[in-house]
Amino acid sequence: MARYDFDIGILGGGAAGLTVAAGAARAGAKTLLVEKEKKLGGDCLHYGCVPSKTLIRTAHIFHLMKNARQFGLPEISLPPVDYTQVKKRIQSVIDIIQKHDSAEQFCKLGAKVEFGQAAFTDEHAIELNGKRYSAKTWVISTGSSPAIPPIEGLDKTLYITNKEIYSLEQLPQSMIILGGGPIGIEFAQAFRRLGTKVSVVERLDRILINDDKDMTGQVLEILQSEGVEFYLGAAVVRVRDLGSEREVVFKMNGEEKSLRAKALLLATGRKANTSGLGLDQIGVRLDKRGLMLDQKLRTTQRHIYGAGDVTGTYQFTHAAGYEGGIVLSNAIFHFPRKVDYTHVPWVTYTDPELASIGMNEQTAKDAGIPCSVWTEQFRDNDRSIAEGEMTGKIKMILDAREKPIGIQILGPQAGDLLNEWVAVMNGGMKLSTLASAVHPYPTLGEINKRVAGRFLSTKLFSETVKRGLKFFFHFKGRACDEQED
């Protein structure tokens, strides 16, 4: 008879927790999954990736409709967007995906699902709805929440975050977004395209700080051309609720400026959900980002693991799933694995998308890694031209041994295009294999082959090779001279 009620207990039913719960239950471990909200799925399904990508798609279609003439179609005059219909579609998408993440599905797999707010009572047990549950191993996967900055007047001002944005009664006429990170930028473009007047206020002098400036600069220009206003290098001084509008006062270039809008959206980062779990009483320590973890994702209590946004590392759904897999391997299969974030990709779902894996030019430079940069433009890709999507480029970063250490793509479907590089980099594939593989024509993906080919052609057409070939062909001169005609 086991000393504990469960082999493994998981706090949080989002991407990370669900990965661990499904794997542990399938492996035959007696599994408890605890979720604070009334539904499984976490932030990604209810307030993050799924609703935001659905909103972005709707905004994209509307944008295309408004630009019908560019595609040889008649110009149409469009009525304003009815946000209740947009919300309806978002909810219908969530509902479909929710079925995969239902408590019934997890019960079928063999996991017990309980809903409620849990807190540790000792290092092996929690209290939940007045009952005690013990487990040999625990996983904390409680995610993250919007970080609310300490701004004067914010406590008396009506603001929204990614949690409230999908339940607004109507499309706001105007919106100020605090924060020029991926969340703020994705919402800025989507709401602008739907018809909202959008202003972004960012503390730094640039947006999307984790990507190369030449790429993010292009994103900035595209959004500006669509009408989004940017206030960069702007330190917010105070905010004020004026009843029907919100006011933001900020300092920029030494001058105080103010903006007013119907809605104020905070997109100023995320904070790990660690409070209320009783972690300090059971010796689980935190650092400034979230749970303090070793490379096997163990907390300072070795039988308690952490995965997902609560770790404060890469706050993406795919990172949460990856970390969940590492925890499963260590805690359930006892096959020791350490985390390695070298090849964690990310995508900002603007139009065009900005996708990245590995190092970019800036991070390679900062790390003192000698590298070369190879680029290919979407305007030279036949499919891009046909699609009317000619903005952007791919950047391939090679180290001194000519191995790819990073890729950045700004362009149509960049996130999907990056997947070929995910395979190349994880599989240690040679660039010559990629460049010689037949890619279907005309596809956007040919840009991957072309950038690899661009590098390889410098080798193929090196002076030594050219000299050898001239000898082979008994060089008789060029067949055509540019001056001829």
Ligand X SMILES: Cc1cc2nc3c(=O)[nH]c(=O)nc-3n(C[C@H](O)[C@H](O)[C@H](O)COP(=O)(O)OP(=O)(O)OC[C@H]3O[C@@H](n4cnc5c(N)ncnc54)[C@H](O)[C@@H]3O)c2cc1C
Residues binding ligand X (CB under 6 A)? 11-17, 34-37, 42-44, 47-49, 52-53, 117-118, 141-143, 162, 183, 273, 276-277, 308-310, 315-318, 320, 349
Count H helices, E strands: the chain?
14, 21
Q: How far is the CB of 456 from ligand X (least distance, A)?
A: 32
- The candidate with the shortest Cα–Cα distance to 143, out of 244, 1, 15, is 15
Give the whole-angstrom CA distance, residue 275 versus residue 120.
11
Q: Which residue is nearest to ligand X (CB)?
A: 14
Structure tokens at 297: 């994702």
Least gap, CB of 94 to ligand X (angstroms) = 13
Instruction: Kindly provide the residue ranges of all beta strands, DSSP E only, lying in 189-233, ordered along the sequence.
Output: 197-202, 229-232
Q: How far is the CB of 346 from ligand X (least distance, A)?
A: 7
Measure the CA–CA gap between 427 and 288, rounded to whole angstroms: 34
Provide the token pair at 359: 């190092």
- From the CB of 432, what's the least distance to ligand X, in Å? 32
3 state DSSP class of 377:
strand
Name the residue nearer to ligand X (CB basis): 318 or 439. Answer: 318
Nearest residue (CB) to ligand X, 228 versus 451:
228
Smallest distance, Å, CB 431 to ligand X? 27
**Nearest CB to ligand X, comparing residues 15 and 151:** 15
How many other C-beta atoms are found inside a 10 Å radius of the C-beta of residue 368? 6
Nearest distance, CB of residue 470 and ligand X, angstroms: 52
How would you class 335 by CB atoms within 10 Å of its CB: exposed for 0-12, middle for 13-18, buried for 19 or more? exposed
Which C-beta is closer to ligand X: that of 15 or that of 424? 15
Nearer of residues 354 and 364 to ligand X, judged by Cβ: 354
Q: Which is nearer to ligand X, 126 or 405 (CB)?
A: 126
Q: Are strands 197-202 and 229-232 parallel, antiparallel or unpaired?
A: parallel
Task: Go through the chain and tell me how many residues it has.
Answer: 485
Rounded CA separation 125/409 (Å): 46
Least distance in angstroms from the C-beta of 23 to ligand X? 14
What are the Cα distances from residue 138, in Å, to 41, 144, 298, 340, 355?
19, 18, 10, 22, 34
Q: What angle do CA 349, 272, 54 make, to 5 degrees?
A: 25
Q: Which amino acid is at 267?
A: A
Based on CB atoms, which residue is closest to ligand X, 56 or 81?
56
For residue 363, give both structure tokens: 């991070």
Question: What's the angle, vertex CA 204, arms to CA 258 and CA 357, rounded to 5?
Answer: 135
CB of 241 to ligand X, least distance (A): 24
Strand partners of residue 257: 250
Please say which residue, 52 or 199, places its beta carbon nearer to ligand X.
52
Is the peptide bond prior to 182 cis by the omega test (within 30 degrees of 0)?
no
CA 441 to mean position of chain CA atoms: 29
The residue assigned the tokens 């959008």 is 198
Minimum Å gap between C-beta 267 and ligand X is 8
- Our CB check for ligand X shows the closer of 195 and 269 to be 269
Measured from the CB of residue 315, what is the shortest distance to ligand X in angstroms? 4
Name the residue nearer to ligand X (CB basis): 315 or 408. 315
Nearest distance, CB of residue 340 and ligand X, angstroms: 18
Q: Is omega for the bond preceding 442 within 30 degrees of 0, making it cis? A: yes
**Which of 194/435 has CB closer to ligand X?**
194
Dist CA 144 CA 479 (whole Å): 66
Handedness of CA 98, 101, 107, 111 (dihedral sign): negative
